[in-house]
Amino acid sequence: GAGVSQSPSNKVTEKGKDVELRCDPISGHTALYWYRQRLGQGLEFLIYFQGNSAPDKSGLPSDRFSAERTGESVSTLTIQRTQQEDSAVYLCASSLAGTGPSGANVLTFGAGSRLTVL
């Protein structure tokens, strides 16, 4: 597509429920990133995909968080047994390549999925 699409744009859930957040990157972008941004704070790295592989999952805060990517395209971030501290905007971004010349590394972000855990 023309841009990075994320869904849902807003999700309100009860503590303890599971949620799935979806990201459709720009077609042809091999690198895909998930970031989390809590209210009034900076972006926190969660996970990086190169193709369908995730060479860096170091930012996932706990084993309740998981992500996958299929077809070198769509990615899903799953949060199990949500807690109130999971409330944040989850941003997905893609780029042509993860490494190499800086021009290929420019990230295009989706509009984010705003998660509120009650």
Q: How many positions of this chain bind another protein (CB under 8 A)?
A: 24
Nearest partner of 66 among 47, 49, 84, judged by Cα: 47
Query: Using the rule CB under 8 A, is 96 a contact of another protein?
Result: no
Taking CB under 8 A as the binding criterion, the range among 14-22, 66-74, 77-85, 99-107 that sits at the site for another protein is 99-107
Determine, following the binding rule CB under 8 A, whether residue 25 of this chain makes contact with another protein: no
Q: How far is the CB of 4 from another protein (least distance, A)?
A: 8
Q: Are 112 and 35 in contact (CB under 8 A)?
A: no
3-state SS, 23-44, equals EECCCCCCEEEEEEECCCCCEE
**63 phi, psi to nearest 5 deg:** -75, 0
Q: Which is nearer to another protein, 56 or 80 (CB)?
A: 56
Phi, psi dihedrals of residue 105, rounded to the nearest 5° = -100, 0
Q: Does 28 sit near another protein (CB under 8 A)?
A: no
2 sits near another protein (criterion: CB under 8 A): no
Binding mask 75-94 for another protein (x = CB under 8 A): ----------------x---
CB of 99 to another protein, least distance (A): 5
Give the residue carrying structure tokens 């199990």.
80
56 binds another protein (CB under 8 A): yes
Rounded Cα–Cα distance for residues 48 and 115 (Å): 20
